[in-house]
Structures are given as structure tokens and as C-alpha cells.
A and B are shown apart, each in its own frame.
Chain A
Amino acid sequence: MERTEIIEKLTAVFHEVFNDNNIVLSDEMTAKDVENWDSLTHMLMITKVEETFGIKFKLKELNKLKMVGDLINTIETKLQ
């Protein structure tokens, strides 16, 4: 899957989970930049990402996700 396609699908997940269709993803974006991004919505988002891309994260991988860019990279790696 192309990176642009990943970002497109991920954007849809973010819009749904965080209830905000104006979110524009960027590599540097963190939980601090999204109003509703806390433990609960993070969990919902991760579950949705796993469903959407048909992948499964390890806790160690989630641990390293500091920015949205890390998430995109991890999805990309796992899809290869």
C-alpha cells in the first residue's frame, strides 16, 4: 500500500474516532494536538487502525509511537 493511501485511510479513522472531520494528519502531530486524544480514544483508534489495515500491534510498538509519523511508518512496515 502506498504511503498516501495509508494516510488517506488513517485520516478517515481519525475523523471517526476523534469526532472531527477537520483533522489533517501530519508527521509531527502528537496526542497533545488533538483535543480528544486520551487513553480511551487512543485505544479506539488503535483498534480501528488494526481492523482497517488488517494488522496487529505489539505493546513495544505502541510504546514507540510518539508522533503520527511513527504510526504511519509502523503501519507501512507491518504491511510489507
Chain B
Amino acid sequence: MEISYECGKFFDEMFISPGVPRPHYQSIFDRFNELSEDDFHQKRESTDLSFVEQGITFTVYGDEESTERIFPFDLMPRVIPNTEWQHITKGLEQRIKALNMFLKDIYTKQQIVKDKVIPAEIFQSAKHYRKEFIGVDVPEDIYIHICGSDLIRDDAGNYLVLEDNARCPSGVSYMLENRQAMKRAFPRVFPKSGVRPVEDYPIKLLAALKHIAPKGIDNPVIAVLTPGVYNSAYFEHCFLARQMGVDIVEGRDLVVESDNRVYMRTTEGLKRVDVLYRRIDDDFIDPEVFRKDSVLGVPGLMRAYTSGNLGLANSIGTGIADDKVTYCFVPAMIKYYLGEDPILPSVESWLPYRPDDMKYVMENMENLVIKAANEAGGYGILIGPMASKKEIESFRDQVKADPRGFIAQTPISLSRHPTYSDSGFDGRHIDLRPYTICGEKTHITPGGLTRVALKKGSLVVNSSQGGGSKDTWILHGDR
């Protein structure tokens, strides 16, 4: 199959110039070149079919009947050479360390506020700030156990952090399933590809969960807490539970007794649970403390947690780090807590709550990306250069009305990657979500989820909005 197209003004992951691959892409480029169109389509079809048959799907709501879809999978892998990966992991380790120190600080002494690095009103007005949680001791001082920061590359190929997903980052099952799919599709390539394995993710996750078990419990009972079968990521919750060999529980399976311990209801009676990997947002986790109308949560769970009878990953209130205004302060945090310069830069940002920034944003809206501070999934975004006058004016009003609720960023021309489309291979924009696990040590799985915007020219990679994914190959070496 021929892979060649104009790279344009974008950084192309594979090509230095049309038809000339970078050294770390040479072998996969050669493999695709020798592949006939028929073989390629056969591989594509059987891969898609196996996703459908295994039910590796997510649910899209909104229509009358919710539909299950597969997350489109592109057979052309994304390759990252070792040197680049070392740089990424150092940057992510630094970042998670600073974020965990920040959360500990915010929920205890708030020294960073006293030292005037971050204004109090910023975190106090963060949507996911949990004042109920101040002063609570957290096992091992780890707040974010699992983090899925989104990285992008600019037109010069520099890696930038776009956002930190410090609550319940999803997608890791796709990282693992995509690898399986690639191995089935290209069995001859793998043994000599020099690709680092990702398969130990569940083992590392399990170890991190064991690490936060209540003191004195050697063989903790661990479970994955899911909102249930109707959640769009339910497949992933089950997948991880199965891979780790632990139970998957819903809120209604758990009960907190008067001894402030958590139990699950089994056919043999109540059985104690020591650690929960929860995939339910704070809001819904305990109707005694947070949203009273939640039927997904477990009444009393916070009592068990604050009494030290339960390990919880991620901890409560980590969503404050997901606030896009907080994101703008991460470089300052790194400096403040670690005395280091950030290894992975953030995207240049403006904060409209500051009068000077507001003025700049108002004058340059058509050249900026505006983001709502607390939206996710690709919603609440204005891409100035691509937006209509009407859209710009609508955002202008919203930003004026709620300056704290928005940030503005320089538009980044995301790097592109050869991706199969109906007219053959063409460049499509991509990002990267590596998965960081913070336990006794910090572990970053050599891989991640590469998401790709399948629509030509689109910058939105989210699965809910026409995104797809690729297997991500981290090489042992640089070629």
C-alpha cells in the first residue's frame, strides 16, 4: 500500500518529507508498503469484527435508543523512539509528584496559598474542590493513583501537556486491547519490532492498590467500583477487574456497617472490602456527604475512608487538578514544590479572571482557543480560527459573564499521523494519553492511547466526537 501525502505546515509523525519516513518508522513503513490492498482490508475487517464480537464497545447516549459503537481502530501504529519516551516519562513523573504535593497541601496546610503562588479563590471556586475533605489523612499521601494526562505535539514536534485527567481517566483498556489486535493482525512484525510490552499494566495497578490498603492488612480484598452496566466505560471497568482478578462491584453491592468498615454482600454473607478502585465521580460516591440523590454510591463510604478503614483510588477531591485554571498553575507548582523547571511545558494560556488577560482575550478571540474550565470530552471548546462570528460572540458573552469559568490558549497545530481513510492513507491529527500509576513507585506504562481525529482537518480526538485510536509503540531503542 502506498503511503504518501503532503505534510503541509504540520509536524508529521512518520514523514520528514513526503515518502521519506523518520528512522523509527522505517520498518513499519516497509511492512505497509509490501502489504497488498486486499490483505490490508482483510486485516481491517477481521480486527473490527473481533472488537464487535468481544463487545469492546462504548455506549453513545442522546438518541432515543442508546447505541453501542466500537471505538474505531486504525491499523497504522504510532511509534515513539526511546529518547523521546525518556523525556516524556521524566516530565510526567515530575508532574504527578507536584500534583500530589499540591493536593496534599490544598487539603491540609494550604501553604501554597499563604505563599501567594495560587490565589485562594481559584481553588475554592474549582468545581471539584471538596471542602468536606480538608484535614483528612490520605494513605501514603497519594491522592492521584492513576493519572492519564493528555499530551500533544506542536508544529515543531515538541511535546506539550494539554490536560491532566486526575479523576477517573478512561481508555486504558483500549491501550491493552489495541495491542492484542495489532498482534493478531501483524503476527510476523512483533517479534522483531523492538516494541516495549504494555501488558503488565493491570499488575502494576493491582500493586498500587495493595499499597494503599489499611494498615495491618496483608492480603487486602480489592474491588473495582463501577456505576454499572449503563456507564459508557463499563467494558473497561470489567476488563480491569478481570485482568487483576478482583471483584467488580456496584454501589448496591456494598454496605458500610456501624463499625465504619465496607462490606460486600455475597452469597455467603457480608465480606469485608479493603481497597476500592472507584470509577464513580466524587459527586455520586456517597449520598451521605455529596449528592443526596445518587443511587450509584454507597452511603457511609466517606466515613469508612476518613476512619482509615478503606483505601480509595483515586482519592477524593482530585478533580481540582482537572480544572483548566488549575492546569495553568502547574508550572508554578512544579517550581514551588520541587524547585525545578517543568520538563514538559504546558500550552501557553491566558486566564480571563485577570483583567489584563481578559483584555487580551477579548481583543484576540478569533486567534485563540477558548475552553470551559470544567468541561471534558471535547465539549465547551471554541477554536477561534475555525469558528463562525456567531460562535465567537456567544463565547465572548459567556467568558464575560464567568471569567473564572474559562481559559484561553494559543491554538496548537497538533501533529499529524498517517491514518487510513476512504481515499487511502492521509495525515490526521493525533494526541497521546500515557497512563501513570502512582504507588510505592511511580510507573508509566511504556505505551498509551493514541487518539486520532478521523475527520480531515479536525482537531477533536474524543471518542464521543468522531475520534478513533491507534496502537502506540514505544521502542526499546531509537529505531
| A, B in one complex | no
Point out residues on A near B: beta carbons under 8 Å.
none
